[in-house]
């Protein structure tokens, strides 16, 4: 596996961990490591679910700003996030810290999201004069509805865990170790026979029965 991303097994749950100090920026090396790990897990019968976690101060904090100068190096954001979303078992994101921009877009490419209390979520690209470029403009409205998604994208204001739960961005909150909580949540999904819940197929109105 790559130096910054590794995969381990916790029983039937694969845990993919990003460890790229200081703030787990979604750099080319991280994207390549995610691609390598998720590709290696595909089709393995012993893997019943995957948890995407991070080590250090925060979950993926955002995109690599250096690529404004170099251009986005392969593998690109869309390729990697599609690979995560296409995983054939449930993928649960273990969220904590400051999850912004590309970090949020990675989280919503996962099928389920567990967040540690105190986590902040945002799409602050508007403050740089740009819009989310890693699928957030497409996935976020499908996940939480058009108005909340537009508010996130056009205001740039972060959401708390409570607010994220209200709009459907977060499925469950955790007080302690969020990776352990996400593994437990993944085991519950497996026990209940739940499969992937791909954001591109989501419709908030349909989920709420409207």
Query: Residue 16's closest CA among 148, 163, 186, 154?
Result: 186
The residue from 74, 105, 117, 147 that is catalytic is 105
Q: What pLDDT, on the 0 to 100 scale, is given for residue 1?
A: 56
- Can 12 be counted among the known catalytic residues? no
pLDDT at 80 over 50: yes
The pLDDT, as a whole number, for residue 210 is: 40
Tokens of 92: 């649960």
Catalytic residue among 3, 85, 125, 201: 125
Per-residue model confidence as pLDDT tens digits over 26-42: 999 999 999 999 999 99
Written as six digits, the tokens of 132 are 């989310």
Spatial CA neighbour of 189 closest among 119, 136, 110, 116: 110
Under the banding of pLDDT at 50, 70 and 90, the label for residue 132 is: confident
Asked if the model's pLDDT at residue 88 lies above 60, the reply is yes
Assign 3-class secondary structure to 11-78.
CCEEEEEECCCCCCCECHHHHHHHHHHHHHHCCCCCCCEEEEEECCCCCCCCECCCHHHHCCCCCCHH
> Which residues touch 78 (CB under 8 Å, ≥6 apart)?
134, 135
Alpha carbon 79 to chain centroid distance? 14
Are the CB atoms for 8 and 14 separated by under 8 Å?
yes
- Quick check: 209 pLDDT over 60? no
| Predicted TM-score of the model (pTM) | 0.92
* Chain position carrying tokens 């403050």: 127
pLDDT tens string 141-184: 999 999 999 999 998 899 999 999 999 999 999 999 999 999 99
Task: Provide the residue range defining the domain that includes 196.
Answer: 5-207
DSSP H helix total and E strand total for the chain: 9, 8
Report pLDDT for 87. 98
The terminus-to-terminus CA distance of the chain in angstroms comes to 45
79 catalytic? Reply is no
Q: What is the CATH number of the domain that holds 201?
A: 3.90.226.10
Task: Count the domains in the chain.
Answer: 1
pLDDT given at position 208: 46
């Amino acid at each position: 596996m790559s130096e910054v991303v590794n995969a381990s097994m916790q029983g039937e749950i694969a845990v993919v961990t990003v460890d790229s100090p200081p703030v787990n920026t979604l750099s080319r090396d991280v994207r390549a490591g995610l691609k390598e790990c998720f590709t290696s897990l595909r089709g393995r019968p012993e893997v019943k679910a995957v948890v995407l976690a991070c080590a250090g101060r925060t979950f993926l904090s955002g995109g690599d700003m250096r690529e404004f100068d170099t251009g986005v190096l392969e593998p690109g954001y869309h390729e990697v996030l599609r690979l995560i979303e296409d995983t054939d078992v449930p993928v649960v994101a273990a969220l904590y810290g400051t999850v912004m921009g590309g970090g949020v877009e990675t989280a919503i490419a996962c099928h389920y999201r567990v967040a540690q209390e105190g986590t902040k979520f945002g799409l602050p690209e508007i403050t740089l004069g740009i819009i989310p470029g890693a699928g957030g403009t497409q996935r976020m409205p499908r996940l939480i509805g058009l108005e909340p998604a537009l508010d996130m994208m056009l205001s740039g204001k972060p959401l708390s865990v409570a607010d994220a739960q209200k709009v459907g961005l977060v499925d469950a909150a955790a007080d302690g170790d969020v990776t352990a909580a996400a593994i437990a949540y993944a085991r519950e999904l497996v026990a209940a026979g739940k499969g992937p819940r791909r954001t591109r197929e989501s419709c908030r109105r349909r989920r709420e029965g409207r």
